[in-house]
Amino acid sequence: MEKRSSQTKVKVVVRLRPALSTNEKTCVSVVDNRVQILNHRNIEESLQYEFNTVFDEKTSQVEVFSTSVEPLLEKVLHGQNVSVFAYGPTGAGKTHTMLGVNSDPGIIPRVIQSLFKTIELKQKSANDLSNQAPQFKVTFSYMEIYNEKVRTVAATNLNKYSSRSHTILLLKIHRKEPSGKELRGKLYLIDLAGSEDNRRTGNKGIRLKESGAINKSLFVLGEVVDAINQNQPRIPYRNSKLTRLLQDSIGGGCHSVMITNIAPEEKFYYDTYCTLNFATKSKKIVNSITTHVVDNIKIEKPTATVRPIKR
């Protein structure tokens, strides 16, 4: 059974990573919670962009997690779907944000740790009150879309194509209450392929084919966002594997957070500009939140035998 309960906009946050060397010129900064970038049409001017949250280059991994992701975990434990996806050009910090490194973990390891801790606490507090505790089952799948094909990947290959493929970790949380009521929530954690325009990067041969496919699914993603914003009757979700997978996240039934990663260096200027414009149009999308409840009506044994009425 599905219950529509509320509508919510896709949350769009931006994270600017620090400059990686002091030798390069930068062209982006965060001023008063806004992203500021030079205007290429008139370099005397700067362009300013506003989002739900703007994380400057000093923002820590824990701050990104606790501000943008942690508040949504309760929703997954209550049968709603949540989607967190990182968008932006290669090198802007998507994998750092989603996965991070052992010494500085990103969203995925923090989500897993926090979910299991919350489940443990819920069960403990029910036990402390001598109540029957809800049962939880967590399952996960990992997918990679590469050249428009979905295939699951071996762990050893995870990083091999990471900037050219979309990687999706899907956690399913199944909660069974002592009353028999079941709640099913899904959590998508997505590291999208680089959004850069590959026509400018001089890719050739097989790499060009790869780029074309990535561009195709990100291009379709752009068309999907436009179609939703223009209230078109048909949204072209089915035109790419990625948009089929994101159907619930964009214009669907998820609480969605799009983390837009940008880099400060001048060489990223055009990609940053395009990324900020895409993020701006994604802010308008409204999702209709659904709670996934399965009511298991218990069939009691009959206490009396019912005989057919003789006529």
Contacts to ligand ADP by CB under 6 A: 17-18, 20, 88, 90-96, 163, 194, 261
Size, binding site for Mg ion by CB under 5 A = 4
Between 103 and 142, how does the x/- string for binding to Mg ion read (CB under 5 A)?
----------------------------------------
26 annotated to a ligand binding site? no
Which of 162, 198, 217, 256 contacts Mg ion by CB under 5 A? Answer: 162
Cα–Cα distances in angstroms (integers) from residue 58 to residues 18, 29, 49, in the given order: 7, 11, 19
260 lies in the site for Mg ion, by CB under 5 A: no
Q: How far is the CB of 100 from ligand ADP (least distance, A)?
A: 8
95 annotated to a ligand binding site? yes
Q: How far is the CB of 203 from ligand ADP (least distance, A)?
A: 16
CB 4 within 8 A of CB 288: yes
Q: Which does 93 bind (CB under 5 to 8 A by kind): Mg ion, ligand ADP, none?
A: ligand ADP
Q: Which is nearer to ligand ADP, 8 or 163 (CB)?
A: 163
Q: Which does 91 bind (CB under 5 to 8 A by kind): ligand ADP, Mg ion, none?
A: ligand ADP
Which of 68, 95, 195, 261 contacts Mg ion by CB under 5 A? Answer: 95
Q: Exposed, middle or buried, 31 (CB in 10 Å: 0-12/13-18/19+)? A: exposed
Between 35 and 74, how does the x/- string for binding to Mg ion read (CB under 5 A)?
----------------------------------------
205 annotated to a ligand binding site? no
Task: Give residue number: closest CB to Mg ion.
Answer: 95
Q: Which does 192 bind (CB under 5 to 8 A by kind): ligand ADP, Mg ion, none?
A: none
Q: How far is the CB of 2 from ligand ADP (least distance, A)?
A: 35
CB 81 within 8 A of CB 255: yes
Which stretch, 69-77, 88-96, 201-209, 223-231, contacts Mg ion (CB under 5 A)? 88-96
C-beta neighbour count of 73 within 10 angstroms:
19
86 annotated to a ligand binding site? no
Q: Which is nearer to ligand ADP, 73 or 92 (CB)?
A: 92
R_g of the chain computed on alpha carbons: 23
Residues in the annotated binding site: 88-95
Task: Give the annotated binding-site residues for ATP.
Answer: 88-95
